Amino acid sequence: RAKWSKGDSDESKNLPIYQHKAKLQQAVKDNSFLVVTGETGSGKTTQLPQYLHQAGFWNNGKIGITQPRRVAAITVAQRVSQEMHCSLGREVGYQVRFDDCTTQDTVVKYMTDGCLLREILADPVLSQYSVVILDEAHERSLNTDILLGLLKQTLSSPDKASKGRSVPLKVVVMSATLETDKLSVFLGGCPVFTIPGRTFPVTSKFGCAIGPKDTESSVYVKEVVKVTLDIHTSEMAGDILVFLTGQSEIEKACDMLYEKAESIDYRYDVQDRKVEGMLILPLYGSMPTDQQKQIFQPPPPGIRKCVVATNIAATSLTINGIKYIVDSGFVKQLNHNSRVGMDILEVVPISKSEALQRAGRAGRTSAGKCFRIYSQAFWEKCMPEYTVPEIQRTSLTAVILTLKCLGVHDVIRFPYLDRPEERFILEALKRLYQCDAIDRRGKVTRLGELMVEFPLPPGLTRALLQAASLGVEDLLLPVAAMLSVENIFIRPGHPEKQKEADQKHRQLGVQAGSCNDFTMLLSVFEKCKASDAPSAWCKDNYIHWRALKSAFSVETQLREILLRLQQKRDFPMEKFDGNKSELFRRCLCAGYFTNVARRSVGKVFCTMDGHGSMVHIHPSSTLFDQEPQLDWVIFHDLLVTSRIYIRTVCPIRYDWVKDLLPKLHEVDVYELSSVARE
């Protein structure tokens, strides 16, 4: 182990946190809870775990660091393994959903907050860890908020905390310079360690492209490209960081930038003769990690680096050398939509505090400039002061089931850092009851205990378990895997290519026999798996090979979980006669009967969950244009634009859901929480 205990590199000695190394090591030793705060880029995420490692904490168990975003966990683990001179997965490793890169040797473990929550399920006192660091607490992700509450509860009852542990667990909560007092008060008045930062002034300029009335998405991509090129051709040397909403917008913007940057004549256009080219790099969550490495490398001399990123570059990852920010003013956010009663990924204006955070990225090493494409009126009228914590705007179903399985029955009086509205909690209880995960008194059922083992949305898990109990899990496992990875169907931007892709996809659908979007997923999975040259097969059929490859791995992992559960004696088994296609769709109904819609007129369907939303089948569906032949359908999710679309759709018979539908209305939600209220 001596090999990687070399100490700190010169580069890391220059980080602001380095001056406080000894004091930080001592502070963690002295306190069971500690809040650490400092400017983004001061070295918290990459350095503190190494300091604790050097201080010998690993002798008593792993040092665990959580991140709300999976890319951050992976990228930072890579970086730290290099700094510690070990190969990734050995002493330094990471674990994210469906991707575990750790070994017996791993003592510094980066992971998503969701992964640590799963570990708590199996081991409530986290006996394998000496320290747990909850990073990026200011992001207020749902899982980090729940972890905060759970760890507060565990550590505040001494007999609970020490049970099964030789030395007490240490908890460090790290946050950018927001809300640290609130965190400290929540954690019983624990000390706050502030790493003094140095920041440089950033001047911000409003634009005029986006006013309070125009929030059209095609407008902001175009405007962002225009502003970026303006900076490139008229500002002094220095790299650009562009904030956009998601993968497709980022790819579109990069394509436009490539094209336009080609035709710049640097002899005349560029004011600063030192800049003679632009290196355009996308950065988003599902990007291959080898491509992400380039982001951190300085550009070649004379070249300006331009990173087009999602919010991940706001605080999770720090890119050195950024002097200019282009802020689109928007973010993609999961929100509970009360109109349709479901969570939906939406593009919304960022908050003012988020906008300041984005601008700040330009002032890390010298003075910088931030170009906002939106107007001052947009800032004043459309942007909220702060971002609402995820716990107050998304579905709590999975988290409430986890809490119940951990023995937290009173989910209403659980110590939340910010309390979700009671109706959100009640809605989650109702959904769990409908899936048979809890009973009428709010107690976890046997099925609920099985469901919590799967890192999947409850409806999908319910369908999978239904299939398993009937012995046809082979139909559902691939579908669950396909729905857990990024989009697998390539949709080329070019109209001709788009036509060809649509045709190929339709063909695959026809070959799948009984045509619906779930069998389509199953068929693509099986065909590709059976192929001798899977990557060529994918290319030929306009399928993302990388996404499909991860679906293969996810399917194996889900199968392993299921096998483990099936080996238990009381795994539920049922009998069923009938044909396989019907069986498949009936299993889907068991989980998706809450997402059922009936055709009302023409191409319009009406949901049956009490919201009665009017919905359309999305054009990407194999059932698009066949609406007149359909009556009842179930669907996986919704997309809201000017219309509400249902995606991944399957026709069903009313008979199959007839007995289930009353469940949507019968239940009195207050009865479900009676345990909590007694």
The torsion of the CA quartet 543, 545, 546, 551, rounded to 10 degrees, works out to: 80
For residue 455, how many other CB atoms are within 10 A of its CB? 18
| Nearer to ligand ADP among residue 44 and residue 62 (C-beta) | 44
Instruction: Dihedral sign for Cα 41, 145, 245, 205, please.
Output: negative
Q: CB 324 → Mg ion: shortest distance, Å? A: 22
Which of 36, 43, 132, 143 forms a contact with ligand ADP (CB under 6 A)? 43
| Nearer to ligand ADP among residue 47 and residue 541 (C-beta) | 47
**The pairing of beta strand 604-607 with beta strand 614-617:** antiparallel
Burial of 589 (0-12, 13-18, 19+ CB in 10 A): buried
Q: Is 45 in the site for Mg ion (CB under 5 A)?
A: yes
Q: Which stretch binds Mg ion (CB under 5 A): 43-51, 338-346, 359-367, 645-653?
A: 43-51
Q: CB 50 → Mg ion: shortest distance, Å? A: 13
Q: Is 42 in the site for ligand ADP (CB under 6 A)?
A: yes
For residue 92, how many other CB atoms are within 10 A of its CB? 31
Tell me which amino acid residue 673 is: S
Q: CB 15 → ligand ADP: shortest distance, Å? A: 6
* Contact mark string toward ligand ADP, 4..33, x via CB under 6 A: -----------x------------------
DSSP assignment letter at 566: H
Q: CB 16 → ligand ADP: shortest distance, Å? A: 8
Diameter of the chain measured on Cα atoms: 78
Q: Is 38 in the site for ligand ADP (CB under 6 A)?
A: yes
Q: CB of 517 within 8 A of CB of 621?
A: yes
- Which tokens is 391 given? 């716990």
Q: CB 39 → ligand ADP: shortest distance, Å? A: 7
Burial of 237 (0-12, 13-18, 19+ CB in 10 A): middle
Site for ligand ADP in 287-306 (CB under 6 A): 296
Q: Which stretch binds ligand ADP (CB under 6 A): 38-46, 92-100, 153-161, 476-484?
A: 38-46
Which of 24, 33, 41, 133 forms a contact with ligand ADP (CB under 6 A)? 41
Q: CB 135 → Mg ion: shortest distance, Å? A: 6
| Nearer to ligand ADP among residue 46 and residue 402 (C-beta) | 46
- Mapping DSSP onto H, E and C, the string for 323-366 reads EEEEECCEEEEEEEECCCCEEEEEEEECCHHHHHHHHHCCCCCC
| Nearer to ligand ADP among residue 65 and residue 597 (C-beta) | 65
| Nearer to Mg ion among residue 45 and residue 184 (C-beta) | 45
With CB atoms as reference, the residue minimizing the distance to Mg ion is 45
Site for ligand ADP in 315-374 (CB under 6 A): 318, 320
| Nearer to ligand ADP among residue 34 and residue 261 (C-beta) | 34
Using DSSP, state whether 630 is helix, strand or coil: coil
**The pairing of beta strand 604-607 with beta strand 596-601:** antiparallel
Q: CB 341 → ligand ADP: shortest distance, Å? A: 38
Q: CB of 207 within 8 A of CB of 329?
A: no
| Nearer to Mg ion among residue 310 and residue 550 (C-beta) | 310
Q: CB 459 → ligand ADP: shortest distance, Å? A: 36
Q: Is 228 in the site for ligand ADP (CB under 6 A)?
A: no
Which of 20, 24, 37, 44 forms a contact with ligand ADP (CB under 6 A)? 44
CA distance 360 to 203: 10
Site for ligand ADP in 614-643 (CB under 6 A): none
Binding residues with Mg ion: total (CB under 5 A): 2
Binding residues with ligand ADP: total (CB under 6 A): 17
Q: Report the side by side order of strands in the sheet with 129-134.
A: 99-101, 92-96, 108-112, 62-67, 129-134, 170-175, 33-38, 192-195
Answer with the entry of ligand ADP, Mg ion, none that 38 interacts with (C-beta below 5 to 8 A by kind): ligand ADP
Answer with the entry of ligand ADP, Mg ion, none that 271 interacts with (C-beta below 5 to 8 A by kind): none
Answer with the entry of ligand ADP, Mg ion, none that 320 interacts with (C-beta below 5 to 8 A by kind): ligand ADP
CA distance 74 to 81: 11
For residue 258, how many other CB atoms are within 10 A of its CB? 11
**48: nearest Cα among 18, 68, 82:** 18
* Contact mark string toward ligand ADP, 74..93, x via CB under 6 A: -xx-xx--------------
CA distance 557 to 551: 10
Q: Is 130 in the site for ligand ADP (CB under 6 A)?
A: no
Using DSSP, state whether 154 is helix, strand or coil: helix
Q: Is 46 in the site for ligand ADP (CB under 6 A)?
A: yes
Answer with the entry of Mg ion, ligand ADP, none that 476 interacts with (C-beta below 5 to 8 A by kind): none
| Nearer to Mg ion among residue 195 and residue 590 (C-beta) | 195
Helix segments in 367-453, DSSP class H: 376-382, 397-405, 422-434, 446-451
| Nearer to ligand ADP among residue 37 and residue 557 (C-beta) | 37
Q: Using alpha carbons only, how large is the chain's radius of gyration in Å?
A: 26
**Contacts with Mg ion, residue ranges (CB under 5 A):** 44-45
- Give residues in contact with ligand ADP (CB under 6 A): 15, 38, 40-47, 75-76, 78-79, 296, 318, 320
